[in-house]
Amino acid sequence: MPSIRFASFAIAIPLYKIFDYSIDVADRAEAGTRYRLPFANGVKTGLLLSTSDASEHDSARIKAAGQRLDQEPVLSGHMLALARWMADYYLQPLGEVLFQCLPGYLRGANKEKPARLKVWRILDADADTIAAMESRSPRQYEICRAIEQAGAGLNALQLKAINPNWHQAVRALEKKAVLEWVWAEKEAGPVVHAQWPVLSDEQDLVLSKIEARLDCFAVHLLDGITGSGKTEVFLRLMQSRLAAGFQVIYLVPEIGLTNQLIERVRQRFGEQFAISHSALTDLQRYQAWDRFQRGQVAIMLGTRSGLFSQCDRLGLIIIDEEHDHSYRQDDGIRYHARDVAIKRAQMLDIPILLGSATPSLESISNCEREHYFLYHLDHRPTRFAPPGLRLLDVRDSKLEYGCSARLFDKIEQHIQQRGQVLIYLNRRGFAPVVMCHQCGWQSLCQHCDARLTLHQSVQRLLCHHCGFTQTLPRICPDCDHGEIKHYGIGTEQLEQGLRERYPDIPVLRIDRDSISSPEALKSRLQQLQRGDPCILIGTQMIAKGHDYASITLSVILDSDQALFSASYRASERLVQTVFQVAGRSGRGDRQGEAILQTRFPQQPLMQSLVSQSYREIAQSLLRERRSVVFPPYARVVMFRADAVDLKQALAKLEDIKSLLSTAGRFGEVSCIGPMPALMTRRIGRYRAQLCLLTGNHRALRSVLHQTMPQIQQLASSARVNWTIDVDAYDM
């Protein structure tokens, strides 16, 4: 009888390898359990994949695994299988993928720490003691009464809802031995008195069609114009899944922006949900993950990585704003959360629902191929339809901080009528170009092929790619000329200009520089919610998901550069942004307006934005993509390399290309490159790319499967690093 068993482990390192160690015979750990493992000269955390009584390696050289961290596996069999699928489909190292599926808190040596919730209960205080509080300490009295009524006790969140300063009052009551806290056994039951609006006929019809197909895997795409009540349909479907005893994952692109959604979910489902997004600490995210896993909450509301929440009874996945680029993870492990979610739903044989007013071309074409069920919502349940877009031709106009005189007129008109104005400008900072008037010197980043943006409030030049900053020079570094000028408009300059022009109107800016915390964002959004006239300026952050009734004018200030972008995705992205931004307007009881200011009103794309629906434009974009055989009619795989020297990066890709070219069927795939990336130098490294493009998915998979084992041997190093990106978003 052998005294040891062999175990293979995945470790989160960028190597396509698994590692064998020995474990005690008596150790009956299951796959998905974490151990500390001696590795190189240190210790790493590994995830057990399988055990056996024999090893193909020389057993004398196999090291013993160290401490076992978990009693029970931290990853379920289903999540292990999903991770294996991801590693195989996206051709990423299994160890890295598996650890990506774990909450950050568990990726190291932290032990599991069940999230428990404190609830406060009334000790056997006599009724008189409490009654006596009514006049002397009304706050304490209010809290006691609420706890009495709740019966099972109240948790911190519920107490906070009663009184934001609950802490003080509760501490005083604890001292008086009126209250005590205990660990809640189960989540305090939902306190829900929500009003569910009566659905419109259109919503009702969609709901009933989807409800009829909830018992098995299917992808449903809800394509509904902005404000048509898609979220309302999602909430109903969640309700019916919860009633059937299932749990639900609801993903949104950016949770910081969706305080409104969180409130809506809370109104309908009480505290039955957990939230996971990147502004939370690792521990908070772990606790959310854990509560969902234990079934303490039925709903996981999260961003991209919320998809990896595991539970026993998942019954529905919702991907809101499915077209949004932030579902793609572009660094580290490369994957698309929407596509992984679809795979997950298929593996569990459950439905998945995608929603958008501007569906991705991928999803539209999947509907045409009858891979997805398609539903439309064409009307807003509120009074007014989304505004049609109008172009403001500024070819001959003088602009002040990016705005034309006619735009000022429009803004003033809406403010006078007590509307709110939203101005979308996707450029942070004060000005994107800083130049010497005399010699043409430009402020360039030392580490990237990029300009430094002027940030006036801090009097610095900043690289938006690597974070490099320097002070704004007073004289030209090249010719000592004293006149350094800036060109172009960023949100900071627009805000300053509008503040000066309209001193009596609040001007709110929402972008990465102005929003330092979730609270800062919340306070600005609350100001919008109040409905008083104001001007909201923002980048991409304001284009998504907001529902504010008083916005009556949406402005897209400067998107002309998208017309000349090198990216084949640029038109799709522009059209989506324009429809999304326009759709923020006119959601209340007033008709909205939407304006796009442009120097290229004759451009065909600009013309179609005015005269066609998103659906029509998407159709013509799809026709273009089909004629040149680009995604979604083709698959793209990108190999990328970066090095301190461009030649080395290109050489690594040449090696990869020559391996690829030995594969059968290589001739059926177009291979473009190796060549320098569009922005060749970034963060001090030179970057190159090799692109595989083909309409023949099978041929591509076959080439990759034949050659990946050899390509995977090409180790990355600090000198030359390489990565592979399957279904790359851009080329």
The residues of the shown chain that bind Zn ion, judged by CB under 5 A, are 436, 438-439, 441, 445, 447-448, 463, 465-466, 468, 476, 478-479, 481
Residue 37 and residue 264: Cα distance in Å, rounded?
A: 45
Q: Which among ligand ADP, Zn ion, none contacts residue 231 (Cβ within 5 to 8 A by kind)?
A: ligand ADP
Residue 669 and residue 667: Cα distance in Å, rounded?
A: 5
Query: Peptide bond before 138: cis, by omega within 30 degrees of 0?
Result: no
Residue 640 touches ligand ADP, criterion: CB under 6 A: no
> Please, what is the minimum distance in Å from the beta carbon of residue 452 to Zn ion?
8
> Please, what is the minimum distance in Å from the beta carbon of residue 330 to Zn ion?
17
Residue 145 and residue 138: Cα distance in Å, rounded?
A: 10
- Kindly state the number of chain residues that form the binding site for ligand ADP, as judged by CB under 6 A: 16
Residue 550 touches ligand ADP, criterion: CB under 6 A: no
The conformation of residue 111, written as its DSSP 8-state character, comes to P
Output b/e per residue, 92-106; b: 16+ Cβ within 10 A.
bbbbbbbbbbbbbbb
CA angle 481, 487, 490 (to 5 degrees): 135
| Residues in Cβ contact with 680 at an 8 Å cutoff, skipping those fewer than 6 apart | 449, 646, 686, 687, 688
Residue 224 touches ligand ADP, criterion: CB under 6 A: yes
Give whichever of 380 and 640 is closer to ligand ADP, judged by the CB atom: 380
DSSP bridge partners of 689: 640, 675
Give whichever of 264 and 313 is closer to ligand ADP, judged by the CB atom: 264
SS3 456: helix
Q: Give the Å distances, CA to CA, from 199 to 193, 382, 386, 703.
A: 18, 11, 19, 51
CA angle 46, 50, 52 (to 5 degrees): 125
Residue 204 touches ligand ADP, criterion: CB under 6 A: no
With residue 347 as reference, give the H or E element that holds it: helix 337-348
Q: Which among ligand ADP, Zn ion, none contacts residue 200 (Cβ within 5 to 8 A by kind)?
A: ligand ADP
> Please, what is the minimum distance in Å from the beta carbon of residue 609 to ligand ADP?
20
Residue 558 touches ligand ADP, criterion: CB under 6 A: no
Residue 230 touches ligand ADP, criterion: CB under 6 A: yes
**CB distance 629 to 695 below 8 Å:** yes
| Residues in Cβ contact with 480 at an 8 Å cutoff, skipping those fewer than 6 apart | none
> Please, what is the minimum distance in Å from the beta carbon of residue 487 to Zn ion?
15
> Please, what is the minimum distance in Å from the beta carbon of residue 451 to Zn ion?
9
Residue 356 touches ligand ADP, criterion: CB under 6 A: no
Q: Which of 226, 287, 293, 540 binds ligand ADP (CB under 6 A)?
A: 226
Give whichever of 261 and 536 is closer to ligand ADP, judged by the CB atom: 261
Would you tell me how many other CB atoms lie within 10 Å of the CB of residue 112?
15
Give whichever of 124 and 201 is closer to ligand ADP, judged by the CB atom: 201
Locate all alpha helices (DSSP H) within 198-281, ordered by sequence.
201-211, 230-243, 259-269
Give whichever of 285 and 681 is closer to Zn ion, judged by the CB atom: 681
Q: Which among Zn ion, ligand ADP, none contacts residue 479 (Cβ within 5 to 8 A by kind)?
A: Zn ion
Q: Which two tokens stand for residue 674?
A: 């190796």
Give whichever of 222 and 692 is closer to ligand ADP, judged by the CB atom: 222
Place of tokens 């604890």: 174
Site for ligand ADP in 365-394 (CB under 6 A): 381-382
Q: Which among Zn ion, ligand ADP, none contacts residue 463 (Cβ within 5 to 8 A by kind)?
A: Zn ion
Residue 605 and residue 603: Cα distance in Å, rounded?
A: 6
Q: Which among Zn ion, ligand ADP, none contacts residue 447 (Cβ within 5 to 8 A by kind)?
A: Zn ion
Residue 231 touches ligand ADP, criterion: CB under 6 A: yes
Give whichever of 265 and 434 is closer to ligand ADP, judged by the CB atom: 265
Q: Which two tokens stand for residue 465?
A: 């790619």
Residues counted in the chain: 731
Residue 425 and residue 433: Cα distance in Å, rounded?
A: 16
Residue 592 touches ligand ADP, criterion: CB under 6 A: no
Residue 203 touches ligand ADP, criterion: CB under 6 A: yes
Q: Which among Zn ion, ligand ADP, none contacts residue 382 (Cβ within 5 to 8 A by kind)?
A: ligand ADP
Give whichever of 465 and 701 is closer to Zn ion, judged by the CB atom: 465
Give whichever of 142 and 211 is closer to ligand ADP, judged by the CB atom: 211
Give whichever of 228 and 577 is closer to ligand ADP, judged by the CB atom: 228
Query: Which amino acid belongs to residue 529?
Result: Q
Give whichever of 377 and 724 is closer to ligand ADP, judged by the CB atom: 377
Q: Which of 4, 31, 194, 199 binds ligand ADP (CB under 6 A)?
A: 199
**Would you tell me which residues interact with ligand ADP (CB under 6 A)?**
197-200, 203, 224, 226-232, 381-382, 547
